Amino acid sequence: MSLGEQIAQEVADGIREAARETGDGELVVTFIRQGQQSGPSYAPTFDPSTRHVANAIMSNFTVKERDTGLVAINDSKLLVASDQLTISPTTLDKVEIDSTEYQVKSISPVKPGGVVIMWNIHIGR
């Protein structure tokens, strides 16, 4: 295991611990990725969606972030552990939290040294 992978594991452990200690227990989120498109563009068909589970912490946007006008009142920020997530999230994905689906609005990987240790994800309805 590389040093970057060890740090990513420590961050993931910290996210799980913080969720247990400050919230209602570990927050498990599910990324839903639409299946591959096939068929003609006027009548496309899609393979089944895939689901990818990860631990996360729900956070709030700062006043400065909200002042940009890019954050709606009901938007949230997720800090997502990278250790269990087998995909790189995109804005085409949806996130399910407690049976509610959210659209991924933006994604910012935290990757010092080139290894993703967590994802900072802006979600909204």
Give Cβ neighbours of residue 61 (< 8 Å, ≥ 6 apart): 71, 75, 76, 77, 122
The domains of the chain, with CATH numbers, are 3-124 (2.40.10.270)
The reported pTM is 0.82
pLDDT tens, 46-84?
899 999 999 999 888 888 887 787 888 888 999 999 888
